[in-house]
Structure 1
Amino acid sequence: MAPDLDVAVVGAGVAGLTAAHELRRAGLDVRVFEERPHVGGRTHSHRHRGYTIDEGAEQLSPHGYRATWQLLTRLGVPASEIRRIGRPVAVWRDGRAHPGVADRSAPLTGAGLSPRARLDLARFLTWAGRRRAGFDCDRPEDTPLGHATVAELAGRYHGDLHDYLLQPVAGCFFGWDTARSAAAPMVSLLLEVGPAAGWLTYAGGMDLLARRLAEGLDVVTGRPVQEVVTDDDGDGGARLLLGAGREPDGSGGGERGGTETVTARAVVLCVPAPVAARLHVNAPDAERDHLAACTYRPVLKLSCLLDRPLAPAHRAGGRTPYIVLTPAVEESELSGIIVDHAKHPDRAPAGKGLLTLMAAPGVVPELLGAPREQVVDRLVCAAGRFVPGLEAAATEHLVHAFTHGLPEATPEALRGRARFMARPVRPVEYAGDWLMLRPSSEGAVRSGALAASRVLSRLRPLRGAGAPPAVTGRPTTAGEKHE
């Protein structure tokens, strides 16, 4: 019996939508299955009362995002929909925010570092600059840093480099524990994306790329995949067991569709590695071992909708920071405060404010299971000393949590990556930023394109190659197809 699809893609985040886009351009029959009621995954933006709230990803860069820029150009996204943030990233120390983190001037201006630490930072940047070619984001396992953790790297220098630079950056941007995560992926990424002064964001929300990709694809939202089974011979294809979806109004008042089995010539699992390990029930042992090594850190963010724009205390006359990092040596509940209304004017209505409080990595597991009111009380109370008047100005709070927030990039994952990337092509492929050990939307795009090329190397398209006409339609609701 002929399979139902050429390719089934599981997950409608940026990795899954990129893979589906590339495979559809090649003439294959592709369908994307997404458990949530919307596309975008960790790049999704929530629209509420005139606010646009980025639930996960916050920015991109003009540098180090080559695959993303190529995709944006192909999709016809105009430059007017991509805006330079133009605000500094600061670190909190001695009662105020010090700008200059991730800036070339940091060894001179300090960015919260002591004079001795600035010298050590300059020494490290000089060392890394001379070995710049060895810091390839596509091969983090091959950098001069080897498998050293962030904490081990920091231990070679003045303590401020850990306490007021590497730990705050790792904790806020990646949700990492510096004693567990490898330094190579983080350093490679920071060197590639360049100074924070050049960072960018999308107009209308960070899910712009995902929404544009989905417009031309067959996407089924609100339909979870329960398991994926490769055919016994390992060459014929795979079967997906779909769970029941929710009613399209999102009320949760009933299930729709019942369970269903779908067959495909190939499946691409575009989900976090722990989810992929659970879904692919008969994955080869070698694949399963690496999936187990690719652990994740949970992430929790609290959006504070304000009746006026507020920001953490900073230097008089200075520009309002875009992000203020709150080091673990200064603050135990928070890892950072994002000033969303300074990031882009469309994130909050005129005259209003929007702040995002990032929970510190050490407290996120506890907060994930806590009542909403407790999460709000703890984080807002902690943020009060950085942003005076926050509690009085807040009109509403929204919690955004991801159990699988960001790949942890442990030394163990780094050691096994080269072998995993060289694995034989099989009916079930994988994509996601964990595959690249590159916690960014660029990592997702690159992994999606790579998975598509591996699928195409195995399948012979049933139709002629070349991009088919784009298929558009109204936005999907839960349980519906977008065709």
Structure 2
Amino acid sequence: MPPTISDSPDVVVVGAGVAGLACAHDLLRSGLRVQLVEASDGVGGRMRSDRHEGFTVDRGFQVFNTSYPQVRRRLALRELRLRPFTPGVLVATERGRLRFGDPTRRPRRLSGLLPGRLAPARDLLALGALSARDALAPVRTLKHAEERTTRTALAAAGFSERFVEEFFRPFLSGVFLEDELETSSRVFHLVWRSMLRGTLCLPARGIGAVPALLADALPVGTVRLETPVDRLTDEGVLLSSGREIAARAVVVATGPGAAGALLPGLRLPPYRVVTTYYHAAVSSPLAEPTLLTDARRRFLNTCVPSEVVPGLAPAGHSLVATSVLGEDAPGREAALREALAEAYDADAGGWDLLTVRTVAEALPAMTPPQPLSRTSRQGPGRHVCGDHRATGSVQGAMASGARAAREVLSDLGGGAAR
């Protein structure tokens, strides 16, 4: 049983996102006393969900991948009541909507992959070879493969420029939040592997259910909300209230901006900005739980989350979520609405704009050379974790938290976190 939390913890973890929550779990499991402080009114960081006019909206559209090792180790997935997306993706192109499905999961749609319908035989053979390699090769092989940009790797794998532009570029733009395919090829292959081996889902209560489940498993009193930290001190942390919490070690698990402020000199990658527009429609513009991307790059992706989880929208309504790169701007929603009407082949004029969510620090840029993991150590008794220390994903954030816990335990002589 973890020790009771006191005013004199061994470790203070600053930030209750998934990295901080994972770190706190491992430290507690190893017998240390942990206090986790969070500036906002809830856990999750960027993984938050809100109720808005009867709808459940995430703070930036996110999907949940069941194959991540950290996810499978830490979460009882059945408690999230996950609902899957259709395996595959629809792409809005000048030739109309094209369906790129996974024939291993939906054999009835195998005919759609016949050469000439979606792509030449060369591209389909290259796709099969790439997918087989990434799905079956040991993770170590992918981690230590030659590193280049994703675009270069796709060309080397034999894909035509047309196939890259119609399939990979629009799809991966939504995954990595960049539309030049400049992400490290090692990251691409690892993510592609995870998609082939797992299922993309939405939790029944929104993406915020994931960090909530982690937080609920902590001892009562571990997490203190609305407790911002002003700065780190020689003894621990000084709260904005003026109170100091002493600790043998401090782990900064905040977003990158706050981490840089608390740890001057911390090297941080640039971050991608994403904005998600949530519309309410009387009828669903796409009567299936499928992700729709855009070869013309007017948006990253769009879907009808209420087709995946009906409870995300009130009865008689549908929820449409569409993400774009960058900030919201005057006139952008109107132009987006026109693009959505064309992509869905639906009348979007009557849709109500529910809310707009911009996430300024959505994902770190992961251009080559991209370390897949970085040490948490920033000085005696000072550590940092988050997706900027690994890869931009739930897996990366949790793995970074786990590494921070191991290094804290090593430094304090407390053994190793499991």
Q: With the length of structure 2 as denominator, give the TM-score of the two structures.
A: 0.83
Offset at residue 86 of structure 1 (A) = 4.0
Verify: 1:161 aligned to 2:189, yes or no.
no
CA distance in 2, matches of 1:305, 1:194: 32
C-alpha offsets along residues 131-161 of structure 1, whole Å, 9 cap, x if unaligned? 766662x88652x2x2211222233330123
Distance change >3 Å, CA 112–CA 124, structure 1 → 2: closer
- 1:304 corresponding residue in structure 2: 279
**Equivalences, count:** 404
Distance change >3 Å, CA 79–CA 10, structure 1 → 2: closer
Verify: 1:323 aligned to 2:291, yes or no.
yes
Aligned pairs for 1:421-436 within 5 A? 421=375, 426-436=380-390
Distance change >3 Å, CA 54–CA 408, structure 1 → 2: same
- 1:120 corresponding residue in structure 2: 123
- 1:69 corresponding residue in structure 2: 72
- 2:215 corresponding residue in structure 1: 214
Which of 348, 355, 358 is the equivalent residue of 1:398?
355
Aligned pairs for 1:175-324 within 5 A? 175-194=177-196, 198-215=199-216, 216-217=218-219, 218-228=222-232, 231=234, 239-243=236-240, 258-273=241-256, 275-281=258-264, 288=266, 291-292=267-268, 294-311=269-286, 320-324=288-292
Q: With the length of structure 1 as denominator, give the TM-score of the two structures.
A: 0.73
**Higher alpha-carbon deviation: 82-91 or 43-52:** 82-91
Contact 1:90-1:111 within 8 A present in 2 as well = no
**Structure 2 spans left out of the alignment, 5+ residues:** 1-5
Distance change >3 Å, CA 351–CA 155, structure 1 → 2: same
CA distance in 1, matches of 2:115, 2:303: 18
- 1:148 corresponding residue in structure 2: 148
Contact 1:307-1:395 within 8 A present in 2 as well = no
Offset at residue 211 of structure 1 (A) = 1.1
One-letter identity of the residue aligned with 2:251: V
Verify: 1:447 aligned to 2:403, yes or no.
no
Identical columns (%) = 24
Offset at residue 71 of structure 1 (A) = 1.5
Contact 1:92-1:112 within 8 A present in 2 as well = no
Offset at residue 9 of structure 1 (A) = 1.3
Offset at residue 21 of structure 1 (A) = 2.1
CA distance in 2, matches of 1:358, 1:112: 31
CA distance in 2, matches of 1:280, 1:112: 54
One-letter identity of the residue aligned with 2:348: L
Contact 1:43-1:57 within 8 A present in 2 as well = no
CA distance in 1, matches of 2:274, 2:280: 20
Distance change >3 Å, CA 70–CA 452, structure 1 → 2: same
Contact 1:98-1:111 within 8 A present in 2 as well = no
Distance change >3 Å, CA 263–CA 185, structure 1 → 2: same
- 1:248 corresponding residue in structure 2: none
Offset at residue 322 of structure 1 (A) = 1.8
Contact 2:44-2:208 within 8 A present in 1 as well = yes
**Higher alpha-carbon deviation: 337-346 or 207-216:** 207-216
One-letter identity of the residue aligned with 2:24: A
CA distance in 2, matches of 1:298, 1:345: 28
**Structure 1 spans left out of the alignment, 5+ residues:** 232-237, 244-257, 312-318, 468-483
Distance change >3 Å, CA 186–CA 112, structure 1 → 2: farther
Offset at residue 399 of structure 1 (A) = 1.0
- 1:346 corresponding residue in structure 2: 311
Offset at residue 320 of structure 1 (A) = 2.4
Contact 1:120-1:158 within 8 A present in 2 as well = yes
- 2:3 corresponding residue in structure 1: none
Distance change >3 Å, CA 91–CA 179, structure 1 → 2: closer
Determine helix, strand or coil for the equivalent of 1:43: coil
Q: What RMSD, in angstroms, separates the aligned Cα atoms of the two structures?
A: 3.5
- 1:474 corresponding residue in structure 2: none
Contact 1:36-1:223 within 8 A present in 2 as well = yes
CA distance in 2, matches of 1:200, 1:346: 14
Distance change >3 Å, CA 102–CA 432, structure 1 → 2: farther
Which of 331, 342, 357 is the equivalent residue of 2:322?
357
